C-alpha cells in the first residue's frame, strides 16, 4: 500500500548553505497542496556538513528522508539512488541550489493532472547566467542533437515530474553511464514541457566544472549514437577513392617518364594502404558499435496499458 502521494528527490553535493531555505520553501509549497508527501535528500559524498544538517531535519520530521552515498557518484547516479527510495505516486526531481524554484511544483502537478506521465522543464535564460555557461550549454545541445539519435530541448535539466509508471520504466534501465535527460526522451509516454526562468544560484558555486560538463556531453553522445564510429568508415572510403585517383596520376607520370625510380610504387603503396587501413578500422568500428549497443542491455519496450491487467 502506498500512502505517499508526492515524493521529492533532491541530490546534494556540498549544499550546506542551501538546505535550510530549500526545506522551508518546499514545506510551505507542499503544505499548501494538502497532500501527503516525502522529501528524499541524497547526499552525494559531500565534504561539508550537508549530511549532518540533513540528519537533523530528518530527526525532526519523518517525512524528510536522508540518504548518504559512500562517495561522490555524480548527480545522475545520486538521482537514481533517490528515485529508488521514493514511494510516492508522483515523483519530482529537483536541484538543491534553488535554481529549480519549489514554487513551480504546483504547476508541474497541474500539468500532470492534464494527463502527462512525464513533465519536463525548460530553463529560459536569465541575467545571472555567466556568458561561458550559456555558450557551453547551447553548444552542448547543438552538438548533441547533431550527433545523437534523440532530440533534446536546449535548457532541459533534471527538474522533472514522473508518474509512478513512468518512474518504474525509467528505473528499468540497466545502464551504467547514465545520461538521464536522454533516457527520458527515449522512453516515450506522454511528455510535456513547462518553461520557467531560473534564478541564479543563491549559495555556494556550481559543481559542474568544464571537465564534468565534457564528460556529461560525451555520455550524452555515445549513449545515443554510433555516428562517431561511422565517421571513420566514411573517411576510409574517401581516402581509398582519393588514393586510387592519385595512383592513376602516378602511373601516368611513370609512363610519360616524369618520375625518379621507385617513386610511383612507393606512393601507390602508402596511399592505398592508408586508405584501406582506415576503411578496415571503420568496419571494425561498426561491429564494435553493435556489440556496444547489445551490451548495454536496454529494455526493448515498455507496456503502457494492458487491458487484462489495467495499470492504473
Query: With CB under 5 A as the contact rule, which of the stretches 26-34, 91-99, 209-217, 288-296 interacts with Mg ion?
Result: 91-99
Query: With CB under 6 A as the contact rule, which of the stretches 55-63, 145-153, 202-210, 265-273 interacts with ligand UDP?
Result: 202-210
Could you give the CA distance from residue 159 to residue 310 in angstroms, rounded to a whole number? Answer: 29
171 vs 112, 161, 162, 189, 220, CA distance in Å?
A: 19, 14, 11, 14, 18
Residue 272 CB neighbour total at 10 angstroms: 16
DSSP secondary-structure letter at 201?
P
The least CB distance from residue 156 to ligand UDP, in Å, is 12
By beta-carbon proximity to ligand UDP, the closer residue of 21 and 110 is 21
Candidate list 22, 57, 98, 99; residue touching ligand UDP; CB under 6 A: 99
Candidate list 4, 68, 72, 129; residue touching ligand UDP; CB under 6 A: 72
Query: With CB under 5 A as the contact rule, which of the stretches 56-64, 90-98, 115-123, 258-266 interacts with Mg ion?
Result: 90-98
290 vs 89, 144, 294, CA distance in Å?
A: 37, 20, 6
By beta-carbon proximity to ligand UDP, the closer residue of 58 and 251 is 58
Cell of 116: 502527462
The least CB distance from residue 11 to ligand UDP, in Å, is 3
Residue 12 CB neighbour total at 10 angstroms: 30
Could you give the CA distance from residue 141 to residue 221 in angstroms, rounded to a whole number? Answer: 10
The least CB distance from residue 22 to Mg ion, in Å, is 12
Q: Which long-range contacts (CB under 8 A, 24 or more apart) does 256-262 make?
A: none
Q: Is 208 in the site for ligand UDP (CB under 6 A)?
A: yes
Q: Is 99 in the site for Mg ion (CB under 5 A)?
A: yes
By beta-carbon proximity to Mg ion, the closer residue of 79 and 150 is 79
State whether the Cα torsion 125-127-129-133 is positive or negative. Answer: positive
Could you give the CA distance from residue 50 to residue 42 in angstroms, rounded to a whole number? Answer: 10
By beta-carbon proximity to Mg ion, the closer residue of 72 and 259 is 72
Q: Is 102 in the site for ligand UDP (CB under 6 A)?
A: no
Residue 277 CB neighbour total at 10 angstroms: 13
Could you give the CA distance from residue 42 to residue 74 in angstroms, rounded to a whole number? Answer: 11
- What would the x/- binding string for ligand UDP be over residues 23 to 52, using CB under 6 A? ---------------------x--------
- What would the x/- binding string for ligand UDP be over residues 76 to 95, using CB under 6 A? --x----------------x
List of residues contacting ligand UDP (CB under 6 A): 11-13, 15, 44, 72, 74-75, 78, 95-97, 99, 206-208
Amino acid at each position: 500500500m502506498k500512502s505517499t502521494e508526492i515524493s521529492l528527490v533532491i541530490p546534494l553535493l556540498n549544499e550546506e548553505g542551501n538546505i535550510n531555505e530549500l526545506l522551508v520553501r518546499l514545506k510551505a509549497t507542499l503544505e499548501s497542496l494538502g497532500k501527503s508527501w516525502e522529501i528524499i535528500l541524497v547526499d552525494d559524498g559531500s565534504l561539508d556538513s550537508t549530511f549532518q544538517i540533513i540528519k537533523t531535519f530528518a530527526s525532526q520530521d519523518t517525512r524528510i528522508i536522508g540518504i548518504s552515498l559512500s562517495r561522490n557518484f555524480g548527480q545522475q547516479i545520486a538521482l537514481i539512488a533517490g528515485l529508488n527510495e521514493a514511494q510516492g505516486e508522483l515523483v519530482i526531481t529537483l536541484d538543491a541550489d534553488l535554481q529549480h524554484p519549489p514554487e513551480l511544483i504546483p504547476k508541474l502537478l497541474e500539468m500532470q493532472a492534464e494527463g502527462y506521465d512525464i513533465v519536463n522543464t525548460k530553463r529560459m535564460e536569465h541575467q545571472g547566467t555567466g556568458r561561458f555557461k550559456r555558450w557551453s550549454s547551447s553548444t552542448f545541445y547543438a552538438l548533441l542533437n547533431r550527433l545523437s539519435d534523440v532530440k533534446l530541448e536546449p535548457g532541459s535539466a533534471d527538474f522533472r515530474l514522473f508518474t509512478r509508471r513512468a518512474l518504474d520504466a525509467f528505473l528499468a534501465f540497466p545502464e551504467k553511464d547514465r545520461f538521464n535527460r536522454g533516457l527520458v526522451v527515449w522512453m516515450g509516454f506522454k511528455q510535456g514541457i513547462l518553461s520557467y526562468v531560473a534564478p541564479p544560484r543563491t549559495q555556494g558555486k556550481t559543481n559542474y566544472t568544464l571537465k564534468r560538463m565534457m564528460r556529461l556531453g560525451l555520455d550524452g553522445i555515445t549513449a545515443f549514437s554510433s555516428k562517431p564510429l561511422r565517421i571513420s568508415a566514411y573517411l576510409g572510403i574517401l581516402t581509398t577513392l582519393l588514393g586510387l585517383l592519385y595512383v592513376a596520376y602516378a602511373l601516368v607520370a611513370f609512363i610519360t617518364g616524369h618520375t625518379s625510380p621507385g617513386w610511383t610504387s612507393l606512393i601507390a603503396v602508402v596511399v592505398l594502404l592508408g586508405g584501406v587501413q582506415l576503411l578496415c578500422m571503420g568496419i571494425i568500428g561498426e561491429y564494435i558499435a553493435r556489440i556496444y549497443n547489445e551490451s548495454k542491455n536496454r529494455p526493448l519496450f515498455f507496456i503502457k496499458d494492458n487491458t487484462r491487467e489495467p495499470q492504473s
